[in-house]
Amino acid sequence: MVDFTKQPADKGFFAPIRFEADVYDCEVIGKVPTDMNGAFVRLGGDWLYPSNFKDDVPFNSDGYISMFRFKNGTVDFKGRWVKTERYQKDLAANRQLYGYYRNPFTDDPSVRDPEHPNRRTVSNTTPLAFAGKLYTLKEDGLPYQINPKTLDTIGTHNFDGKWHSQTFTAHTKLDPVSGELIAFGYEATGLASDDVFVYTLDKAGQVVHEARFKVPYVSMIHDVALTQKHVIFPVFGYVTSMERLKAGKEHWVWDSSKPMYIGILPRGSDGKDIRWFKGPERCMVHTCNARTEGNRVILEAPIADSNQFPFFASIDGSPWNPQKARHYIRRLTFDLSSKDDSYKEEIIIPNQSITDLIRIDQRYLSLPYQYAYAGYNDPNRPFDEARAGNLKGRVQNCYGRFDLRSGKIDAYFAGDSHSLQEPYFVPRAKKGAEGDGYLVGVASNFAEMRSELIIADAQHLEAGDIARVILPFRASSQVHGIWVDEDQLPFA
Ligand code: V55
Ligand code: FE
């Protein structure tokens, strides 16, 4: 029997949905472009059983994968839990056997295994389609392979034993020039370990290169950035230790005394020549894009001044500061010919804070580019406050296309009772000018208590959407979503 009254935060639009779904030929408002063939695949969490801890974090909920499958102007929807080892054990026991997010010491003795923390992953963060296979990713475990036709879970994947890290990041980087995938794992040799292993996988999905290095301090390396020459690793304020884990605490705590370190690893290096730059307290969970120009490495990212997550506590007990949690798109410039370890920071879009769920035209990853896409809230747009419930204060009512050269913003407004999840840029064709394509993303319609997939012309956001795919229910909430072309996966 399940008792969700223990989780006061998970109500309204954030309550678990608790069912698996199939909707054939979804209702559509407008017209779905017939040149969109493939799927928008989303991953997030939906608690099978609630956490045993009131102060646990949402990142600990069971992985749930869903997809909007596009074929010749029609869309089918499918949603399935990721049937992890943990999901199966919980379901067999009819209760939550696992404890806090990333703390195996708080697990039930029947499953407690701190030597193999990756076996308790919920696999709830990002879908990955690579070399003809579909995976779900979470940074504390190995990928789970998923059947792209049925969304059934196949099992964990270790790349023929060549993936030596215990963990696999949620944010891989596909080089659009070489077709290689750069991926890594941190806490690679065990809980709170300072080892990072970095891998290159070729187009066929084979591991072809490994690099290893140690971090200045153990931190959440959620995302990296890729250039044609370098991989960039941010290390900042979220800290952990074996002591705090053994004491039964949450994995991460924010330490504002920690400088941000940025590690720049030459691609192809074995890890020994990683170079660390150092700056003031910052929070950079996600990156936007980066490039190497001669001796300079240039990185753009949504960056906050301090702890961006209200649910991770401060090490000194100070309250969460919402002002310092706001993200602005900033540019960091690193001079590889300099002798010191400092870098330059500029805010390039100073008049609009955004969510850190930022996207680009992936065909321009690691290359010079112009546009970024992200959700944000414009308080000057009409807002149906009476119906917003617990979405109030966290509504994102716009998608913006941010021109990083001119600072100009082209905005899509979703409506007075809609909050937008992370967008994704879908190019119109395999090759083409940057930004020519569609922007897609799921809106939570809190007036109707249903989810809607928005499809807009990415070059004319202000014009409104081309189509909305309507679900007759709330879809489980998303962390990240990706567009997958028809020919990338065996959907049939
Ligand atoms: C993030 C999300 C996670 C996680 C670590 O958004 C970082 C950042 C959904 O899980 O485990
Ligand atoms: Fe992420």
Is the minimum distance from the CB of 172 to ligand 1 under 6 angstroms?
no
Q: Residue 446 Cα, ligand 1 centroid: separation in angstroms?
A: 24
Distance from the Cα of residue 491 to its chain's centroid: 23
CB 90 within 8 A of CB 98: yes
Write the residue with the smallest CA distance to atom 4 of ligand 1: 59
Which residues are bridge partners to 375 per DSSP? 399
Quote the pLDDT of residue 97: 98
Residue 144 lies in a domain: yes
Three-class DSSP category at 246: helix
Residue 490 lies in a domain: no
pLDDT reading at 214 higher than 70: yes
Q: CA separation (Å) from 413 to 188, 441, 447?
A: 42, 12, 16
Quote the pLDDT of residue 11: 82
Residue 204 lies in a domain: yes
Is the minimum distance from the CB of 285 to ligand 1 under 6 angstroms?
yes
State how far the Cα of 359 lies from the Cα of 371, in Å rounded to an integer.
9
Residue 7 lies in a domain: no
Write the residue with the smallest CA distance to atom 11 of ligand 1: 59
pLDDT in tens, 389-401: 989 999 999 999 9
Task: Give the nearest ligand 1 atom to 101 CA.
Answer: 11
Residue 457 lies in a domain: yes
Is the minimum distance from the CB of 222 to ligand 1 under 6 angstroms?
yes
- CATH number (domain holding residue 68): 2.130.10.10
Quote the pLDDT of residue 334: 99
Write the residue with the smallest CA distance to atom 3 of ligand 1: 59
228-258 exposure pattern, b = at least 16 Cβ within 10 A, e = fewer = ebbbbbbbbbbbbeeebbeeebbbbbbbbeb
For residue 9, name the pLDDT band (cuts at 50, 70, 90).
low
Q: Residue 59 Cα, ligand 1 centroid: separation in angstroms?
A: 6
Range of the domain at 373: 12-485
Is the minimum distance from the CB of 479 to ligand 1 under 6 angstroms?
yes
CB 65 within 8 A of CB 43: yes
Q: Residue 125 Cα, ligand 1 centroid: separation in angstroms?
A: 6
**What's the N-to-C CA distance of the chain in angstroms?**
37
Quote the pLDDT of residue 5: 76
CB 492 within 8 A of CB 69: no
pLDDT reading at 8 higher than 70: no
Residue 430 lies in a domain: yes
CB 63 within 8 A of CB 124: yes
The structural domain count of the chain equals 1
pLDDT in tens, 242-268: 999 999 999 999 999 999 999 999 999
Q: Over range 481-488, report the average pLDDT.
A: 98
CB 476 within 8 A of CB 16: yes
pLDDT in tens, 126-163: 999 999 999 999 999 999 999 999 999 999 999 999 99
pLDDT in tens, 162-189: 999 999 999 999 999 999 999 999 999 9
